[in-house]
């Protein structure tokens, strides 16, 4: 399951974001996304540079959440956008040809992201989550399966993913499971 783990390191939530990144990389995660919703630009850039370096050394794709400018400056492998962020087209003007993922919360949003050229489609919250402020309604496994069968791009299941339910999301068709708060539990299971 670790090879399907999309590790999201939230620099504002994790006690030691760099250590958590190293643990995820050592465990064999599929990719690492750095998230920092309120961190100032300089602090975000410094952490992004270090995480980028670690990911490059481990040959694991590094994704920046929301910030096309930071993604471009650190030469990230990808950018992840929310529904209220730049459009895919506008983001590509900033980041060029790097991978762009998009968060979606219903079939229509997922189909739109697919049609607009998203490289990855995050879908959720599949289960109840406490990590996000004002989360969208839980979509459940049936909706996840429908999205996976409808879109042509790989789907990342997100929202409330734990070691106990990740297998269900993967069996529903998700290629990856994105994990934030349960990341230490996944890494504990990997050792």
Summarised one tens digit per residue, pLDDT across range 148-162 is: 999 999 999 999 999
For 77-128, the pLDDT digits (tens) are: 999 999 999 999 999 999 999 999 999 999 999 999 999 999 999 999 999 9
Enumerate the domain spans of the chain. Answer: 2-190
| pLDDT, position 191 | 46
Q: Are strands 5-10 and 176-179 parallel, antiparallel or unpaired?
A: parallel
Percentage with pLDDT > 70 across the chain? 96
Percentage with pLDDT > 90 across the chain? 85
Give me the active site residues, please. Answer: 35, 103, 132
For 36-74, the pLDDT digits (tens) are: 988 999 999 999 999 999 999 999 999 999 999 999 999
DSSP line for 31-68: EEEEE-SS--HHHHHHHHHHHHHHHHHHT--EEEES-H
Structure tokens, 51: 């995480």
Q: Per-residue confidence at 130, pLDDT binned at 50, 70, 90?
A: confident
User: E strands within 23-163?
Assistant: 31-35, 62-65, 78-81, 99-104, 120-123, 155-158
Q: Which CATH class is domain 2-190?
A: alpha beta
Output the pTM of the full model: 0.93
Q: Are strands 62-65 and 120-123 parallel, antiparallel or unpaired?
A: unpaired
């Amino acid at each position: 399951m670790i090879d399907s783990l999309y590790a999201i390191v939230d620099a504002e939530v994790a006690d030691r974001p760099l250590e958590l990144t190293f643990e995820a990389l050592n465990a064999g995660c599929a990719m690492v996304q750095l998230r920092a919703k309120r961190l100032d630009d300089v602090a975000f850039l410094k952490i992004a540079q270090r995480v980028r370096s670690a990911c490059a050394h481990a040959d694991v794709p590094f994704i920046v959440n929301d910030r096309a400018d930071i993604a471009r400056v650190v030469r990230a492998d990808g950018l992840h956008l929310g529904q209220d962020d730049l459009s895919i087209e506008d983001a590509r003007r900033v980041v060029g040809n790097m991978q762009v993922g998009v968060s979606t919360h219903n079939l229509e949003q997922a189909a739109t992201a697919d049609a607009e050229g998203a490289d990855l489609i995050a879908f959720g919250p599949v289960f109840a989550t406490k990590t996000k402020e004002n989360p969208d309604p839980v979509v459940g496994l049936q909706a996840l399966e429908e999205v996976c069968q409808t879109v042509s791009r790989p789907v990342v299941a997100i929202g409330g993913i734990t070691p106990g339910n990740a297998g269900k999301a993967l069996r529903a068709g998700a290629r990856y499971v994105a994990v934030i708060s349960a990341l230490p539990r996944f890494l504990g299971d990997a050792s």
